[in-house]
A and B are shown apart, each in its own frame.
Chain A
Amino acid sequence: MFKIFKYSFFDLTRSSWSYVYFLFYLLLGMVLLFLNNDLNTAVITLMNVIIMLVPLIGTIFGVMYYYNSREFTELLLAQPVKRSSIFLGQYFGVAISLSISLVLGLGIPFAAYGLFKSPAIWDFVMLLVTGLFLTLIFSALAFNIALSNENKIKGFGYAILLWLFLAVIYDGLFLLSLVYFQEYPLDKFSLVATMFNPIDLSRILILLKLDISALLSYTGAVFKQFFGTSFGSIASISMLVLWVVLPLLRIAYVVRKKDF
């Protein structure tokens, strides 16, 4: 698996897309800091971007890479290599090269701006950690979709739909149910509903780190109480880990049986 990972990884680092992605984040970080002059507000703006774009790019990139490297995959399948290690190797190649672009792209301008001396460093670390998790999660989901769909167009369609669902539609349904059931106590429900969507979970984790959490009033207090405890942070981190592991297990399971 490591060999295939290495191959995919170096293949991707040579491709221009990772550089485009890297440069995009570099530019974004620099422009934000240039315009805001303040690390804290820059972190908030960045959060909006990360929550939208990181999942989208992870999804598109994952699907694209899978379909593009199909011939190479078929070649590999003819060799005496374990199937799961072929696909997981490819997956990690994609996910880790994306993660490195993200971390370096955002890290360099912020570090140059004096992040290490600023109290905002933990907010920023939180931002990067959730960004990393979102990359891992969404490229794993993308691989799953691509594996289940031979048809490229369909695969892309489903991938976009998945992103749209988790980034936008889920919150709409969430809001709808909150408004519909407003007579009932809803803080437990909203806690659970947030846990089930990795994008919402990341958003809340970052918001609670930021000063803005006081705005969340009573519900925010419930959230802060939950996420502030060690149980809460373990639960939320393990939820994110679960979001990575479950799709990966499915990849391993599907490729064992799949007829290529």
Chain B
Amino acid sequence: MERFLIFLSLLLFIPTLEAKEIVVCPGCEVSSIKQAVDLANNGDTIRIQKGLYKEHDIEIIGKSLTIIGENYPVIDAEMEGTAFRIKADNFSIEGLHIKNIGTSHTSDDAAILVSRSKNFSIKNNRLSNIFFGILLERSSEGDITGNKIRSKARSQANSGNGIHIWNSKDLTIENNDIQGVRDGIYLEFANQCDIINNICRENLRYGLHFMFSDHNKYLENLFENNGAGVAVMYSKFIEMERNLFRKNWGSASYGLLLKEITDATLKHNVFEDNTIAISADNTNRIDYIENDFLSNGYAVRIRGACYNNVFKRNNFLANSFDVAYTGNINENEFLGNYWSEYTGYDLNKDGIGDVPFRPVKLFSYLVNKTPEAIILLRSTFIGLLDFSEKVSPIFTPAELTDSQPLMQKIKW
């Protein structure tokens, strides 16, 4: 049996042993990438040397190729069509600089378009001035690592996404740096994906956007100055850990926008200087554990139809509003958080305040009912009002309290 296995594996390796390498450079025998792809057989390596290649619609169909760029050769699509169109298993693309993908309203032109492929890697490429960057459809088991995507999206209708994933699964998206597109990373019907340590900055709409995508993880990413940091919509079982949401600031900006999502965990995230750090609408069974909310306009805004959301051991530090709340209490729970606005005392010195904390201010309640009232922000009257409501609550939901507010900031 063992012998048979060795034989089988040898048999499998034979094509790779025979693989040849094709070198492409502007002065070489093979001077265009298209030509090289035509010449190549399954399992070959194409080595593209430094230079400018004005090519578009390079099609790789059914060939497992390894494409390696040396010193970032420039592939200029001259605003026409897609640069690479790939439908193959076991391929890799590395070290290319692809630029000038034109905007189209009828087709999704991308720098690298991958469809119906399996087991691939797209690594350390630079994409600039693009419509869509890396577009994946019906693919699985891929690595998208270390790519740097830059564009200058102006309006949402005329721009594409940095990494766009549709109907795919088992992908790893790691160490990418995406700036100036519509959505930094977009997932639709994408399952079991890991999104780790990416930087999404200054994107027009969202840094990271989930639609109908379940069982995904995103960890240790930075979302800075996007229209909204992350939007998670219509998805289940999402793990969000150790991310940093910063400066998503503007009249319609969010750090994290949750809509119709269930069974998710948020742990060890930091929200800093966002207009609204978390806006939750129609979310069920979400655990918010050990997150930091620092200097946001609103730290948490709970809209209607939210059930069984639990906030435990979070730090709420110097936000204009800690919690804004619409609707009934619905088994949502705040327990054992640290609130910088808490003014209670701790007589038995167990680190837990003896007086429950009410995170919803009267003013935030009023603003929820009458949005125009926000114009009285920081006026003396509002200060008085909040104070008297704190002393004897009448309007704010009486059950909405943190019964064990901590006296010291939580270190996690």
Give residues in A with beta carbon < 8 Å to B.
44, 47-48, 51-52, 167-169, 171-172, 174-175, 178-179, 182, 186-187, 190, 194, 200, 203-204, 207, 211-212, 214-221, 223
Question: Would B369 and A179 count as touching, CB distance under 8 A?
Answer: yes
Given B369, B378, B380, which contacts A167 in the complex, CB threshold below 8 Å?
B380
Nearest CB to that of A206 among chain B residues? B378
The 7 closest A-B pairs by CB, nearest first: A171-B381, A215-B297, A186-B372, A182-B370, A171-B379, A219-B372, A214-B275
Number of interface residues of B (CB under 8 A): 26
Within 8 Å CB of B373, what residues of A?
175, 178-179
Within 8 Å CB of B379, what residues of A?
51, 171, 200, 203
Bound form: Cα–Cα A220–B275 in Å: 13
**Interface presence of B26 (CB below 8 A):** no
Given B249, B376, B385, which contacts A211 in the complex, CB threshold below 8 Å?
B249
Within 8 Å CB of B366, what residues of A?
175, 179
Contacts A194-B375, A215-B377, A217-B251 hold; do A171 and B382 have CB atoms under 8 A apart?
yes
Q: Produce 1/0 per residue, B352-388, CB < 8 A to A.
A: 0000000000000010011111111111111011000
Question: Would B251 and A214 count as touching, CB distance under 8 A?
Answer: yes
**Interface presence of B253 (CB below 8 A):** yes
Contacts A179-B369, A214-B297 hold; do A219 and B320 have CB atoms under 8 A apart?
no
Bound form: Cα–Cα A167–B385 in Å: 14
Question: Would A190 and B375 count as touching, CB distance under 8 A?
Answer: yes
Nearest CB to that of B274 among chain A residues? A214
Question: Would A168 and B378 count as touching, CB distance under 8 A?
Answer: no
Question: Would B381 and A215 count as touching, CB distance under 8 A?
Answer: no
The dominant DSSP class at the A interface is: helix
Question: Would B372 and A187 count as touching, CB distance under 8 A?
Answer: yes
Nearest CB to that of A203 among chain B residues? B379
Within 8 Å CB of B275, what residues of A?
214-215
Question: Would A212 and B371 count as touching, CB distance under 8 A?
Answer: no
Q: Which of B298, B372, B376 has the most CB of A within 10 A?
A: B372
Contacts A167-B380, A214-B275 hold; do A223 and B375 have CB atoms under 8 A apart?
yes
Contacts A214-B275, A220-B251 hold; do A207 and B371 have CB atoms under 8 A apart?
no
Bound form: Cα–Cα A171–B371 in Å: 15
**Interface presence of B393 (CB below 8 A):** no
Nearest CB to that of B379 among chain A residues? A171
Nearest CB to that of A172 among chain B residues? B381
Bound form: Cα–Cα A210–B368 in Å: 23
Contacts A168-B381, A182-B370, A218-B371 hold; do A174 and B376 have CB atoms under 8 A apart?
yes
Bound form: Cα–Cα A179–B372 in Å: 9
Known A-B contacts: A171-B382, A175-B373, A219-B372. Give 11 more (CB < 8 A): A48-B378, A168-B380, A168-B384, A171-B376, A178-B370, A178-B373, A179-B370, A179-B373, A182-B370, A186-B372, A215-B275
Within 8 Å CB of A221, what residues of B?
251
Nearest CB to that of A213 among chain B residues? B251
Question: Would B251 and A218 count as touching, CB distance under 8 A?
Answer: yes
Question: Would A216 and B378 count as touching, CB distance under 8 A?
Answer: no
Bound form: Cα–Cα A194–B369 in Å: 20
